[in-house]
């Protein structure tokens, strides 16, 4: 009897050892795909630093399993993102895909997440429809309409009547233009729209058109990092002395580049979900730790997207006891927590983030430029998807 049990036990052990991946189940693999070379490197670095910082602060074991982070560079090119995601799914057998620095990179990968039933945490990209591209997508960044509609409201209520919009000509820029124009014209405002190419933009010819139109305000969306180039050309053309107000979602004054823009940025009004100056104990310690982890770089909204994305993965895994797939996505739905940006939750219907949007003004504080928050619109859902479900 005793001998037979032993033999059976030995047989079971041999069988287990022969099952490929049996060992790997002790780890949860997270494939983090980001632009870490090319023109959008700043976005990738912010997200990676945020994600690594979260792991450093919370340990690398969740529900008894080791979290293994595999970081890959896609250079900001959608074909590379897709190929990398495929390799991570097939070869590395990742349990979670994460990152996605730009909208086209997220959209190219969405069908793979659906086919493989692998949760895909979008930590950066901001076009509203992204979460509809796969039931396995969940987002910890923001949507452009979510950040932009409050800007249109504020402008309409603060004496601005005529606006020129200038946006990068792709998903999030078009979302921002539509969201602003919809709300602002309904309130009686007048809008003229300009679109600038995403790659290597030269803003000068567009700024000439703005000068000719003489609007009360110039509404700008450019992706994180491009604000520096925009602001340089804005000053070169004397806009800082033109009386035309600079407004937009907060991408143009992102916290990483803001401090180097100089006084020209002072007074810019933006609406967004994150400011490094957000006044909370959670944010103060986040900013301090992020700077320590990155040679003094200030976190921006991309950094907090990476940090919160890891939080969502950790808390989801705690709920599923380490299980991935559909169970993990289900566990993430409805989750809420206090982020460095303020209170956030994951909408269980849309898998998109619900968060406060703050109205901010660029001011000098302790010798540095910050987006100083002065009003809060609480618990904002993406308005594009909210309108569809009504
Ligand atoms: C995007 O491509 O979705 C994107 C990139 C940078 C931003 C916002 C949106 O600042």
142-164, pLDDT tens digit by residue?
999 999 999 999 999 999 999 99
Strand ranges, E, within the chain: 27-34, 61-62, 65-73, 96-99, 120-122, 137-139, 162-168, 190-196, 217-221, 245-249, 269-272, 336-339, 342-346, 353-365, 368-380
* Residue 279, C-beta contacts closer than 8 angstroms, at least 6 positions apart: 373
pLDDT of residue 303: 98
- Residue 11's pLDDT band, with cuts at 50, 70 and 90, is very low
**CB of residue 251 inside a 6 A radius of ligand 1:** yes
pLDDT of residue 4: 52
Give the position of tokens 């969201």: 179
User: 101 CA to middle of ligand 1, Å?
Assistant: 7
**Residue in 77, 224, 252, 271 to alter for ligand 1 test, most ligand atoms within 8 A of Cβ:** 224
First CA to last CA distance, the chain: 67
Pull the structure tokens for residue 15. 């069988």
User: 223 CA to middle of ligand 1, Å?
Assistant: 5
pLDDT of residue 240: 85
User: 64 CA to middle of ligand 1, Å?
Assistant: 35
Minimum mean pLDDT among 89-93, 214-218, 370-374, 386-390: which range?
Answer: 386-390
How high does pLDDT run on average in the chain? 94
**CB of residue 224 inside a 6 A radius of ligand 1:** yes
Note the pLDDT tens digit of each residue in 325-371.
999 999 999 999 999 999 999 999 999 999 999 999 999 999 999 99
Q: DSSP labels for 235-280?
A: HHTTGGGS-PEEEEEGGGG-HHHHTTS-GGGTT-EEEES--TT--S
pLDDT of residue 381: 98
- Residue 21's pLDDT band, with cuts at 50, 70 and 90, is very low
Nearest CA to ligand 1 atom 6: 223
3-state secondary structure of 224: coil
User: 256 CA to middle of ligand 1, Å?
Assistant: 15
Cα–Cα distances in Å, from 338 out to 91, 141, 304, 329?
Answer: 36, 14, 12, 20
The answer to whether the CB of 80 falls within 8 A of the CB of 99 is no
Does pLDDT of 140 surpass 60?
yes
User: 321 CA to middle of ligand 1, Å?
Assistant: 33
Pull the structure tokens for residue 246. 């600079």
Instruction: Report the alpha-carbon distance of residue 75 to residue 78 in Å, rounded.
Output: 9
Does pLDDT of 1 surpass 90?
no
Instruction: Report the alpha-carbon distance of residue 274 to residue 233 in Å, rounded.
Output: 25
Does pLDDT of 12 surpass 80?
no
What pTM did the predictor assign? 0.93
**CB of residue 256 inside a 6 A radius of ligand 1:** no
Output Rg (C-alpha) for the chain, integer angstroms. Answer: 23
pLDDT of residue 96: 98
Does pLDDT of 24 surpass 70?
no
Q: What is the largest CA-CA distance in the chain?
A: 95
Nearest CA to ligand 1 atom 2: 102
* Residue 224 alpha carbon, nearest atom of ligand 1: 10
Which residue, 82, 88, 134, is CA-closest to 108?
82
25 or 88: which leads in pLDDT: 88
Phi, psi angle pair for 269, to nearest 5°: -105, 125
- Residue 26's pLDDT band, with cuts at 50, 70 and 90, is confident
User: 220 CA to middle of ligand 1, Å?
Assistant: 13
**CB of residue 48 inside a 6 A radius of ligand 1:** no
Nearest CA to ligand 1 atom 3: 125
% residues pLDDT > 90 (the chain): 91
Order of all β-strands in the sheet with 61-62: 61-62, 65-73, 27-34, 96-99, 120-122, 137-139
Minimum mean pLDDT among 139-153, 229-243, 329-343, 372-386: which range?
Answer: 229-243
- Residue 194's pLDDT band, with cuts at 50, 70 and 90, is very high
User: 110 CA to middle of ligand 1, Å?
Assistant: 17
CB half-sphere exposure, 129, CA atoms < 13 A? 10
**CB of residue 105 inside a 6 A radius of ligand 1:** no
Q: Which residues pair with 339 in a beta bridge?
A: 342
Q: What angle do CA 208, 221, 188 make, to 5 degrees?
A: 80
Indicate the Cα dihedral angle 295, 298, 301, 305, nearest 10°: 30
**CB of residue 172 inside a 6 A radius of ligand 1:** yes
pLDDT of residue 2: 53
Which residue, 338, 358, 347, is CA-closest to 383?
347
**CB of residue 276 inside a 6 A radius of ligand 1:** no
Indicate the Cα dihedral angle 74, 271, 247, 175, nearest 10°: 50
pLDDT of residue 292: 98
Note the pLDDT tens digit of each residue in 278-331.
999 999 999 999 999 999 999 999 999 999 999 999 999 999 999 999 999 999
**Residue in 40, 124, 252 to alter for ligand 1 test, most ligand atoms within 8 A of Cβ:** 124
Does pLDDT of 18 surpass 50?
no
User: 305 CA to middle of ligand 1, Å?
Assistant: 12
* Residue 127 alpha carbon, nearest atom of ligand 1: 3
Minimum mean pLDDT among 62-71, 237-246, 375-384: which range?
Answer: 237-246
- Residue 16's pLDDT band, with cuts at 50, 70 and 90, is very low
**Residue in 102, 141, 201, 270 to alter for ligand 1 test, most ligand atoms within 8 A of Cβ:** 102
Does pLDDT of 8 surpass 60?
no
- Residue 6's pLDDT band, with cuts at 50, 70 and 90, is very low
Instruction: Report the alpha-carbon distance of residue 271 to residue 372 in Å, rounded.
Output: 11
pLDDT of residue 311: 98
Does pLDDT of 17 surpass 90?
no
**CB of residue 252 inside a 6 A radius of ligand 1:** no
Look up residue 222 and give its DSSP letter: -
**CB of residue 175 inside a 6 A radius of ligand 1:** no
Which residue, 61, 138, 64, is CA-closest to 100?
138
**CB of residue 102 inside a 6 A radius of ligand 1:** yes
């Amino acid at each position: 009897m005793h001998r037979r049990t032993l033999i059976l036990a030995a047989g079971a052990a041999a069988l287990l050892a022969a099952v490929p991946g049996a060992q790997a189940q002790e780890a949860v693999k997270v494939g983090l795909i980001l632009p870490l070379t090319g023109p959008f490197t700043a976005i990738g670095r912010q997200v990676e630093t945020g994600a690594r910082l979260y792991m450093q602060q919370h340990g690398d074991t969740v529900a008894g399993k080791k979290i293994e982070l595999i970081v890959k560079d896609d250079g900001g090119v959608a074909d590379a993102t897709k190929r990398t995601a495929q390799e991570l799914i097939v070869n590395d057998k990742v349990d979670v895909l994460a990152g996605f620095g730009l909208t086209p990179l997220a959209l190219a990968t969405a069908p793979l997440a659906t086919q493989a039933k692998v949760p895909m945490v979008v930590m950066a990209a901001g076009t509203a429809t992204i979460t509809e591209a796969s039931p396995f997508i969940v987002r910890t960044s923001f949507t452009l309409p979510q950040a932009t509609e409050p800007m249109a409201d504020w402008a309409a209520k603060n004496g601005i009547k005529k606006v020129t919009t200038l946006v990068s000509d792709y998903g999030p820029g078009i979302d921002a233009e539509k969201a602003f124009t919809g709300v602002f014209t309904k309130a009686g405002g007048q809008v003229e729209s300009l679109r600038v190419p995403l790659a290597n933009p030269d803003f000068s010819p567009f700024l000439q058109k703005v000068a000719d139109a003489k609007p009360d305000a110039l509404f700008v969306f450019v992706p994180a990092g491009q604000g520096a180039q925009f602001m340089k050309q804005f000053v070169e053309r004397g806009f800082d002395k033109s009386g035309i107000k600079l407004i937009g979602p907060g991408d143009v004054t992102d916290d990483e580049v803001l401090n180097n823009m100089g006084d020209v940025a002072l007074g810019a009004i933006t609406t967004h979900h994150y400011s490094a100056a957000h006044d909370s104990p959670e944010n103060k310690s986040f900013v301090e730790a992020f700077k320590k982890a990155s040679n003094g770089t200030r976190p921006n909204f991309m950094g907090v997207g990476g940090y919160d994305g890891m939080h969502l993965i950790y808390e989801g895994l705690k709920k599923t006891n380490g299980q991935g797939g559909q169970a993990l996505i289900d566990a993430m739905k409805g989750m809420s927590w206090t982020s460095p940006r303020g209170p956030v939750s994951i909408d269980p219907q849309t898998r998109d983030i619900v968060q406060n949007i703050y109205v901010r003004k660029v001011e000098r504080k302790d010798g540095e430029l910050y987006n100083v928050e002065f009003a809060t619109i609480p618990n904002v859902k993406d308005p594009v998807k909210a309108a569809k479900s009504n």
